[in-house]
Structure 1
Amino acid sequence: MSINTERDIEANLQIGPTDRGMVRLFIEAKGVEIPMDFDPEEAEEIAEEILSAAKAARKAKR
């Protein structure tokens, strides 16, 4: 499977700071909870990657 493989899975994503100074991505799907903690610098890098992917997706959509 790759990033282009579609799946019929519904999930919720929550993003927020923790009380320990980390940024948490919390993914919840049927029967699964995945907490992913990142330091602020890592979280900024992830945010940049998301923005870059959004720009590329806009170009691909045309």
Structure 2
Amino acid sequence: MSINSESDIEANLQIGPTSEGMVRIYVEGKGIEIPMDFDPEEAEEIAEEIRAAAARARAANKKRK
């Protein structure tokens, strides 16, 4: 499956700090649980990547209209 493939899989996403000073991204759905811990700097890099992807998606949507 690629990033552009559609899927009917539903999952819950939780993001928050851990008691150890890490940032946890927790994905749960269809019998799976995936906890991913990142140090704060890595989490900020991920946040920047998400913002950049959102900006590109927004620009692509404007071109379609």
Question: What TM-score, normalized by structure 1, do the two folds share?
Answer: 0.97
| Structure 1 residue 30 displacement after superposition | 1.5
Give the structure 2 partner of residue 12 of structure 1. Answer: 12
Deviations 1:7-45 (Å, cap 9, x if unpaired)? 100000000000000000000002000000000000000
**Runs of 4+ off more than 2 Å:** none
Q: CA RMSD in A?
A: 0.5
- Separation of aligned partners in 2, 1:12 and 1:37: 16
Instruction: Using the aligned pairs only, state the percent identity.
Output: 74
| Matched residue SS, 1:57 | helix
- Separation of aligned partners in 2, 1:2 and 1:27: 18
Matched ranges for 1:33-48 at <5 A? 33-48=33-48
| Structure 1 residue 61 displacement after superposition | 0.7
Question: What TM-score, normalized by structure 2, do the two folds share?
Answer: 0.93
Corresponding pairs, count: 62
Letter of the aligned partner of 2:13 in structure 1? L
- Separation of aligned partners in 2, 1:3 and 1:34: 18
- Separation of aligned partners in 2, 1:4 and 1:60: 14
Letter of the aligned partner of 2:17 in structure 1? P
